[in-house]
Amino acid sequence: DPQKAIEDILDGRFVLIEDFYSTGLSILHELNNYLKKKHPDQSFQGQREFRSEYQRLSHQILVKVSANKLEVKKAPVIGWLEILYPDLRDFMLAFPQVQGLNSAWQWYEKGVSIPVLRNRIHPWYGVYFPSRFEHLQLFDNWLKRYGGAKKSAMDIGIGSGVLSLQLMKHGFQKVYGTDTNPNAIIGLTQFMRGTKLARKIEIDHGHLFAKWKQKTELIVFNPPWLPTSLELERLDEAIYYNNKLFNDFFKEAKERLLPDGKIVLLFSNLAQITNVSEQNPIEKELAEGGRFKKELFLTKTVKPASKKTKRNQNWRSSELVELWVLTHK
């Protein structure tokens, strides 16, 4: 009974799904309805609070995994269970984790189409990949007009590799990429294995520039667009930035950018229009950092939210993605 399950969850107990996969979906649906009544505030901050509580409570719904398969009827086949847990025979996962694994397996198997790339990408589990493309289109248009040297570039926070693949498409000879997420490194290494890309894109696991100390003519960075005061999970690091990230990035970029080089940052006014932050960290650097000057600033309007989304996203009408080009002062 989904209603009884919700009562148990609210009392702090865990609920184990033992019959059908669809039972877990039903309980999540009930929990969603309950929390929507509890959190009627439709503002950006209100929705953030709703999602936070939903995440906490939904993780009290469990499913047993045995021999790399879900122990419920009519469950999807999820290849990640064998890849990620090869030595674990019997254990439990929270139902939202199972949903995430299932979605990630579909994306990995079928691939994800990105408008600015010729081929689909196959993102590894737990690796950020773009679901909106306006900022990528801004970058692609800028690359078409870029007249500088193309010997090398650095892609900071390479993720699923989209910006690096754009750089390859536009004739760069070498890209040095980094990411704090080990899954991004594993996924890209597998994706490139046996192809020319494996020689052209070198990747390292680490913060910001990681082990790359050499100077380059182009540094590209698609940082997180929202500030946070919380400790971050790895996937969240692709979405939220802490108060040290930008200063650390600009400090390290100053040491690695060639005299005539350029930094390209892809950003958004999302934090400002949702009242999460008053200051754009790139504007702050230009005003106070004393390291770089602005060469170019481009914006592009974001398309309206998908009609399928259930979230109130009225603020989207005033959202702009931004492309900043900075050079040495």
Q: Is the pLDDT of residue 70 over 60?
A: yes
Strands 226-227 and 175-179, sheet pairing:
unpaired
Q: How far apart are alpha carbons 207 and 294 in whole angstroms?
A: 25
268/228 same-domain check: yes
Which pTM value belongs to this model? 0.84
CATH number of the domain within which 206 lies: 3.40.50.150
Residue 128 belongs to a domain: no
pLDDT in tens, 72-119: 999 999 999 999 999 888 999 999 999 999 999 999 999 999 999 999
pLDDT more than 90, % of the chain: 71
Query: Which of the listed residues 73, 95, 110 is the one where a domain comes to its end?
Result: 110
275/144 same-domain check: yes
Q: What is the mean pLDDT of residues 188-204?
A: 95
pLDDT in tens, 237-253: 556 777 889 999 999 99
Residue 124 belongs to a domain: no
Q: How far apart are alpha carbons 323 and 326 in whole angstroms?
A: 10
Residue 245 belongs to a domain: yes
Please name the residue that has the structure tokens 């254990």: 91
154/286 same-domain check: yes
94/152 same-domain check: no
Residue 125 belongs to a domain: no
197/275 same-domain check: yes
103/227 same-domain check: no
Record the tokens describing residue 262, joined without a space. 């350029």
Q: Is the pLDDT of residue 271 over 60?
A: yes
70/203 same-domain check: no
Residue 162 belongs to a domain: yes
Residue 121 belongs to a domain: no
Record the tokens describing residue 54, joined without a space. 């939903």
Query: Which of the listed residues 47, 76, 110 is the one where a domain comes to its end?
Result: 110
Q: How far apart are alpha carbons 70 and 20 in whole angstroms?
A: 10
44: Cβ–Cβ under 8 A, 6 or more apart, which residues? Answer: 274, 275, 276, 315
Tell me which residue range forms the domain holding 79.
Answer: 2-110
Query: Which of the listed residues 42, 76, 110 is the one where a domain comes to its end?
Result: 110
Number of domains in the chain: 2
304/169 same-domain check: yes
Q: Is the pLDDT of residue 232 over 50?
A: no
152/244 same-domain check: yes
Residue 241 belongs to a domain: yes
Q: How many CB atoms lie within 10 A of CB 247?
A: 14
Residue 122 belongs to a domain: no
168/221 same-domain check: yes
148/274 same-domain check: yes
Q: Is the pLDDT of residue 14 over 80?
A: yes
Q: Which residue has the higher pLDDT, 286 or 272?
A: 286
pLDDT in tens, 111-152: 999 999 999 999 999 998 998 899 999 999 999 999 999 999
∠123-167-121 over CA atoms, to 5°?
20
102/145 same-domain check: no
